[in-house]
Chains A and B, each alone.
Chain A
Amino acid sequence: MTCDEAEILLHALIDGELDAGHAREVEAHIAGCPRCAAELAAFREMSKAIAEAGVHYTAPPGLRRRIEASLPQATPAPSRRAVLRGFAMGSAVSAIAATGLVAIVLRNDDAQRIESEVVSAHLRSLQAGHLTDVISTDQHTVKPWFNGKLDVAPPVVDLTAQGFTLIGGRLDYVDARAIGAIVYRRRAHIINLFVAQTANTQHQAARTETIQGFNIRRWSDRGLNYWAVSDLAVDELVDFGEKYEAAMKTGTAG
């Protein structure tokens, strides 16, 4: 490799843009060329100095308000919601960070705490490869998969015809114990339906809540507690819950 080539490529090396083979070639040249080695060191030093000085600008609050105001208003989204949704759609690292955030805002109330944990579990599930332990659109595959893994048999309902595609099941941990999660998809939105046993066999009507930008529909029926969690709009999540409950009543659960 010539110095002319190295002079360009050392920048790609600094920026981590070279594949392993070419990185080795540039490094080999630099090892034998003090001039290019000095160049590399100087540019690294400069990049570091810039990063440490912090030369970003922060958008003025007025600008953010004007942009917000120019958009059609739905339910005004709190900014934290936007941040968290960004996390949920981003990398695994971000999802972990978001889980950390959720942990910080835990409230003491027991039901609230569990709902926060359910949201955390939902966020964890959005990390690559964690969404489903068993992948199937067939309720008769997903339901038996839970056998022996839980002390309850989560009712798995096929709601494809109603617009909610069953995509699988997963074992998760909420409130320090194993819990079943049935995973549905609505367009590109994931719904985690968490199912856990409860001593109370009375039917409890559904209520919805929003925690950290995620909507939760919670209800109890026949000794089971349900939490449906998603970034879907509230009305769609309510629709999901109602269709699920309706399917349970007509006994189509697998």
Chain B
Amino acid sequence: MPGRWIETGRAEASSARAGQKPMPLNAANDDPEKARRFRDAALPHLDDAYTLARYLLRDATDAEDAVQECYLRAFKHFDSYRGPEMKPWLFAILRNVCRAEFARRASTPTAAIDEVTETAEQAPLWHEAPETPETQMLRRWDADTIRRLVSALAEPFRETFVLREINNLSYREIADVAAVPVGTVMSRLARARAMLRSAWMAEEEQPR
């Protein structure tokens, strides 16, 4: 079980910091003071939340809707927020909103299947590491290409990868957001990076 190797210092540090944060008071939802505290705590994470939603849903409009719904729910439950960190707490809510959206898409078969999904199915998911990879240099792709490659990763590997590599969450925080053990986070991340590297190198072979 690889999880036992994880350093716990970060989690302890974050809960220690949480002690200094203003604890929410019991207040009605129309309380302007509560709204102010929520704004200050949650809105700085808006770009991060939107980024996660874009990668999870692979659609700009759906991502906007999901983030808005996430903030509505988060504000509603802000009284029960006890830390330690705002970002993983928001992300856990956002993830649930996105899963509800997946369920909705699944129940409407007429909904357009975005072509990235097809690419994901066609793309090789797992390459054996080449025998002498030390001779290979990774090509530098531009942001749009990388976004496309990341978006083509299959779930749950995409989610784990984005939370770690793009949203910069710790393994412990990812485990909390995705409600899985830290060991699962580690194996998913290893798999996600291996898949991305395969796609990354396959991209070079394609005629452009």
- Give the interface of A toward B (CB within 8 A): 5, 7-9, 11-12, 15, 17-19, 22, 34-35, 37-39, 41-43, 45-47, 49-50, 52-60, 62-64, 66-68, 70-75, 77, 79, 81-83, 85-86, 89, 91, 187-189, 233
Contacts and interface: CB of A to CB of B under 8 A. Distances in A.
A8 B22 contact: no
Interface in B1-30: 2, 5-7, 9, 17, 20-23, 25, 29-30
B39 interface: yes
Contacts, number: 163
Contacts of B34: 72
Interface residues of B, number: 66
Interface stretch (B98-106, B114-122, B135-143): B135-143
Chain A interface helix/strand/loop/mixed: helix
Interface of B: 2, 5-7, 9, 17, 20-23, 25, 29-36, 38-41, 43-44, 46-51, 54, 63-64, 67-68, 71-72, 75, 129, 132-134, 136-138, 140-143, 146-147, 150, 164-166, 170-171, 186-187, 189-190, 193, 196-197, 200
A157 B33 CA distance: 28
Given A18-B7, A58-B50, 9 more contacts: A38-B133, A41-B134, A42-B133, A53-B141, A59-B49, A70-B71, A72-B35, A75-B36, A82-B39
27 contacts: A9-B186, A12-B6, A15-B164, A35-B133, A39-B129, A39-B133, A46-B193, A46-B196, A49-B140, A53-B140, A57-B50, A57-B51, A57-B54, A58-B50, A59-B46, A59-B49, A59-B50, A63-B50, A64-B46, A71-B39, A72-B30, A72-B32, A73-B35, A77-B36, A82-B43, A187-B22, A188-B22
